A and B are shown apart, each in its own frame.
Chain A
Amino acid sequence: MEPNTIDPKIPDGDLHEKWDKHRFDLKLVSPANRPRYKIIVVGTGLAGASAAATLSELGYQVEIFCIQDSPRRAHSIAAQGGINAAKNYPNDGDTVWRLFYDTLKGGDFRAREANVYRLAQVANNIIDQCVAQGVPFAREYGGYLANRSFGGAQVSRTFYARGQTGQQLLLGAYSALMKEVNRGNVQIHTRSEMVDLVVEDGIAKGIIVRNLLSGEFTRHAAHCVILATGGYSNVFHLSTNAMVSNCSAIYRAYKKGAFFANPSFTQIHPTCVPRSGHYQSKLTLMSESLRNDGRVWVPTDSEDHRSAEDIPESDRDYFLERQYPSFGNLVPRDVASRAVKNICDAGRGVGPVGQSVYLDFGTAIENQGSQVIEEKYGNLFQMYEEITSDDPYRTPMRIYPASHYTMGGLWVDYNLMSNIAGLFVIGEANFSDHGANRLGASALMQGLADGYFIVPSTVADYLAVQPAIDLDPDRASFRADEHKARGCYADFVTGKGKIPVDDLHHELGAIMWDRVGMSRSAQGLEVAIKQIRQLRGKYRHSACVPGDANDLNEQLEKAGRIADFIDLGELMALDARSREESCGAHFREEHQSSQHEPIRDDTHFQHVALWEYRGENELPEKHLEELEFKWLKPETRSYR
């Protein structure tokens, strides 16, 4: 059966005029009417906080939910390196068009042209906005903003606040949000988890929420719902994501009919601190900005067991510089990760188990002095030393790839609305702008572009034709969904199993990392799908959740999230199996050149794969959004 083709509703006109023209065409809600509409935002990261603050400033009533104890703790806070914009301050040839080109090429031509162009266009406004909020970006002596380079680009367009850019941007958005709370226009619910989306006749009507302190369930109705709940890298168990980052909000929306797009597109970040033991609870990222000055190498001879400092230049293989002379250590993440994996798989890795490579600052310290290096990366070096007790000023860092970001997510149209009317999805939770691979310093850009500048305009277009009726969370649909959620959580605690849910998460992670990670094959994916299905059975019969459903119960929270991760793991494997090409972070072993470079297949796979939920024991149905490239011709991505 031929898959259906889904229309992303891209406006007509020249690429550079689309967004402006579209904004004129979008309907408005008059200032007097805005307070009559209520908007629910789930998640308080960059996307959620910026959207909620902006919508409240415009006059809508906003209710916002987060699972942390404060909106300031969302995982955007951990982003280190920076945020891109095409300001061209360094006068090195940057333009909106080049940022668009780099981002689309970086995503290996699997993103939507019009969306990526719009992202590049509004990026400059984000910098203006954040500076006005008082974000302390790095400055030159003259008082002007400083820039640095990042992977996948040959210009310096990344704005940064030491190694804490995500923190500073999030605190900017958080303070804008708290300003609106103070005005009494935003209602915040902390330690509150969305457990279901309420949909009536294909229209999003509200959400069901569980209070994580009391276990109480509540129903919340609104005129539209915005999900900004981040990515799902924790499907791999170990990742650079925070411990509570999860897929449940978007997965449960998927089960209510929202299409899940490109679930298998997940990014493995090349520079993370290698794992040290079975007990490990998470992995720590070392910012990509380090590759500006750090050089990646392994000993030329795999039998060379001298310590790094004792190995002379002549016996070192700077393999990224050797393989990719024009981009060197600054190749995009997918390329760097695969190169590191290949070196380690060939038995040339370093460290106790050979699962790492060196990231060396010797040359940079020699050329620039350790003070300059400390100014740029001081806190990252300190963090590395705390974890490993090695001093990177003296010994090179050891790094290995780890799951970091998910390009896949809920499908949205040009207006960032899913196929469920009134359900908008922004930030990492949607699939939109990064194609099959995201470039460094682009996640912060997308989260804030969606939240500050795009969704506030497109939400108005949707609301303008909705009646501002009184909201009633006591309707039958809300009651039914609440009843179901309540039952589901009660069942978790009455189970008689003996295996802690963390152990099952661990097992899922191993399957995903081995067979649905950096390198995938048809055969491996078959095995993975079978293993995940067995794991689901084991979960049902053997998961052990102690305690009470009407209390603070972290195990119970995890139980719900891990059940969703298991299901999503299978969906990722199905998607990876059906995409028989290599593109970006998705590497299929059957589709590589003799030099192990990925081979993309534009004839058959120049599309977004959309998955529709068909029920508990049914396979999901696949639909397609064909990608058209009118303005840039897809080329073979080369960083050599």
Chain B
Amino acid sequence: MRFTLRIWRQAQQETTGRFVDFAVEDIPAEMSLLELLDSINRGLILESADPVAFDHDCREGICGMCSLVINGRPHGPGAGTTTCQLYMRSFADGETIVVEPFRADAFPVVKDLIVDRSAFDRIIAAGGYVTVTTGQTPEANDILVAKENAEEAMDAAACIGCGACVAACKNASAMLFVAAKVSHLSLLPQGQPEKSRRVLTMVREMDQSGFGNCSNEAECEAVCPKEISIGHIARMNRQYLFAMLLSGERS
């Protein structure tokens, strides 16, 4: 197969970026897009040029390290997949493929296609956990969880923290990411005692990190590689409202 890759190049956060075209030929359909980037980089290395910087690690869709907006869509054309699970057979022969970083104020570009997603760690640190220390636990089967709740909690807990939801949203909102964690823990008995506190502190950190608000367009759900439902955002909003009323806090 034959393609033109139009790739965003940006030396560092402060500099201006631009698109650079790379024409490639004889590409097997079974090759992954990241392997194609590897091979473009190999060509650049042989010319002593600077290879394209992009984030990637497990290359099996679970670590959440890979990002990229491909032809205008975070993680590319496939539904329920990450960029690293995208194979060239998904594109038409001769196609021009536009590759950009995730774009959001809260995710500044570090270099080329790499962005800084440390805001997500700060949001988790603000309250995305059950406060339990090692050893302070009852027998596992003393905590019963209805199968349906365990399944729904798992649907939410499957979030890989990639940030595609933010990149897809016109408001650069992180609501799906935050709601996935809030929902996961609030569906389980273990998460009940600090339910209100958790939703307030996580949302506060989300706002402070510069993410926008949700306006119910559901673009996040459409691009989420783990197909996490915006129903979790509705659950979070309800909890947030109750928590605010209870605490008397104003947003």
Contact = CB atoms under 8 A, between A and B. Distances in A.
B38 A182 contact: no
Contact of B157 (A87, A136, A182): A136
Contact of A78 (B38, B60, B145): B60
Nearest to A448: B134
Given A132-B190, A179-B131, A182-B126, A77 B63 contact: yes
Interface string B36-69: 0011001011101111010111111111110000
A78 B63 CA distance: 7
Interface in B96-142: 110-111, 114, 116-118, 120-121, 124-141
Interface string B179-208: 000001100101100000000000000000
B147 interface: yes
Interface stretch (A273-281, A364-372, A436-444, A579-587): A273-281
A145 B141 CA distance: 7
A195 interface: no
Interface string A157-197: 00001101001100100111011011000001010000000
A555 B134 contact: no
B78 interface: yes
Nearest to B152: A136
A208 B64 CA distance: 28
A242 B58 CA distance: 4
B120 A70 contact: yes
B85 interface: yes
A544 interface: yes
A50 B39 CA distance: 38
A500 B38 CA distance: 11
A502 B42 contact: yes
B140 A145 contact: yes
Interface residues of B, number: 77
B34 A175 contact: no
A209 B84 CA distance: 29
Interface stretch (A19-27, A99-107, A323-331, A380-388): A380-388
Contacts, number: 214
Contacts of B42: 500, 502-503
Contacts of B128: 175, 178
A171 B157 contact: yes
A179 B125 contact: yes
Contact of B63 (A73, A137, A179, A503): A73
Interface in A78-108: 78, 87, 89
A179 B118 contact: no
A175 B125 CA distance: 7
A142 B144 contact: yes
B170 to A, nearest CB: 25
B138 A128 contact: yes
A453 B134 contact: yes
Given A139-B145, A141-B147, A279-B35, A242 B63 contact: yes
Nearest to A190: B118
Nearest to A129: B137
A144 interface: yes
The size bracket of the interface on A is 35 or more
Contacts of B130: 132-134, 175
A127 to B, nearest CB: 5
Contacts of B132: 129, 132-133, 176
A140 interface: yes
A533 to B, nearest CB: 25
Interface stretch (B24-32, B214-222, B231-239, B243-251): B24-32
A68 interface: yes
Nearest to A273: B60
Contact of A133 (B56, B63, B129, B141): B129
Contacts of A277: 28, 30-31
Query: Does more than half of chain B's interface fall in helix, strand or loop, or is it mixed?
Result: loop
B78 A242 contact: no
Interface centre among B63, B137, B140 (most CB of A within 10 A): B140
Contacts of B57: 68, 73, 75, 242-244
A72 B64 contact: yes
Contact of B64 (A73, A284, A389): A73
A529 B11 CA distance: 42
A475 B106 CA distance: 39
A134 B60 contact: no
A537 interface: no
Contacts of B49: 546
B150 interface: yes
Nearest to B143: A131
Nearest to B42: A500
B202 to A, nearest CB: 11
B80 interface: yes
B171 interface: no
B117 A70 contact: yes
Interface centre among B35, B49, B191 (most CB of A within 10 A): B35
Contacts of A167: 62, 158, 160
B140 A134 contact: no
Contacts of A70: 64, 117-118, 120-121, 161
B35 A280 contact: yes
A3 interface: no
B4 interface: no
Contacts of A179: 125, 129, 131
B4 to A, nearest CB: 19
A546 B124 CA distance: 37
Contact of B30 (A161, A276, A502): A276
A161 B156 CA distance: 12
A68 B65 contact: yes
A391 interface: no
Contacts of B185: 134
Contacts of A161: 154, 157
A176 B129 contact: yes
Contacts of A244: 57
Interface string A520-534: 000000000000000
A386 B62 contact: no
A243 B184 contact: no
A178 B124 contact: yes
B152 to A, nearest CB: 9
7 closest A-B pairs (Cβ-Cβ)?
A143-B144, A175-B129, A132-B137, A136-B154, A178-B125, A139-B150, A54-B134
Interface of A: 50, 53-54, 57, 68-73, 75, 77-78, 87, 89, 124-125, 127-129, 131-134, 136-145, 161-162, 164, 167-168, 171, 174-176, 178-179, 181-182, 188, 190, 213, 242-244, 276-277, 279-282, 284-285, 382-383, 386-387, 389, 452-453, 456, 498, 500, 502-503, 544, 546-547, 552, 554-555
Given A77-B58, A178-B121, 8 more contacts: A54-B134, A73-B58, A128-B137, A131-B137, A276-B30, A382-B80, A387-B85, A547-B50
27 contacts: A68-B57, A69-B55, A69-B65, A128-B138, A129-B132, A131-B143, A132-B136, A132-B190, A134-B185, A134-B188, A136-B145, A136-B154, A143-B145, A144-B144, A145-B140, A164-B62, A182-B126, A242-B58, A276-B28, A281-B35, A281-B38, A383-B85, A386-B81, A386-B85, A502-B42, A544-B48, A546-B51
